[in-house]
Amino acid sequence: MFQLDTKSRRTIYQQVVDNVKELILSGVLKEEEQLPSVRELSKLLTVNPNTVLKAYRELEYEGYVYSTVGQGTFVQKRQKGKVDEELLFNGRQSLENGIKELLYAGLSEEDTLKEVNIILEKFRKGTGSK
């Protein structure tokens, strides 16, 4: 499904959460689609099942997925229009950092905006994941 970056500073847990989110956002995981069970995913990734469990709980808490007892974990139907405040804050922070770096790299403001569109396009089309 996705690869974990062992060198990254982000915890495994964080990576699982982020990666699942990305898969959902990019449409690889469709609404109501079942996620692999905690067991399966932990075995697949060689990751502590508790970690996977925690990640799934976090995703559920943030509204990306829901779980039914005995059935599994499924992608939540996305409610259009709702905006998560904390995610927004984080997103803004990341965006700011990202743009800062693009600017330092030597891109012009115009080209920077172009980059943003390219990324948005990627998510719209739903092709692949990192």
Partner 1 sequence: MITITNLTKRFEDFEALSKLDMNVKKGSIYGLVGTNGAGKTTVIKHVTGVLRGDSGEVMIDGEPVYNNVSEKKRIGYVQDELYFLGNYSFKEMGRFYKNIYKTFNEDRFKEMVNNFDLDLNLKLSRFSKGMQKQAAFILTLCTMPDYLILDEPIDGLDPIIRKLVWKYIVKDVAEREMTVLVSSHNLREMEDICDSIGIISKGRMIIERDLDELKSDIHKVQAAFKDEGIEKEVLKDLKVVHKERRGSVGLYIIRDKKEKVEKAFKDTNPVIFDMLPLSLEEIFIYEMGGGEDEIEAILS
Residues that bind partner 1 (CB under 8 A): 6, 9-13, 38-39, 42-43, 46-51, 54
| CA angle, residues 57, 14, 90, in degrees to nearest 5 | 100
Q: Which is nearer to partner 1, 54 or 122 (CB)?
A: 54
Q: Which is nearer to partner 1, 19 or 51 (CB)?
A: 51
Q: Are 47 and 11 in contact (CB under 8 A)?
A: no
- Distance in Å, CB of 13 to partner 1, minimum: 5
Q: Which is nearer to partner 1, 9 or 82 (CB)?
A: 9
- Distance in Å, CB of 45 to partner 1, minimum: 9
> Does an H or E element contain 71, and which?
none
Q: How far apart are CA 11 and CA 16, in angstroms?
A: 9
Q: How far is CA 99 from CA 22, 93, 94, 114, in A?
A: 20, 10, 8, 11
- Distance in Å, CB of 42 to partner 1, minimum: 5
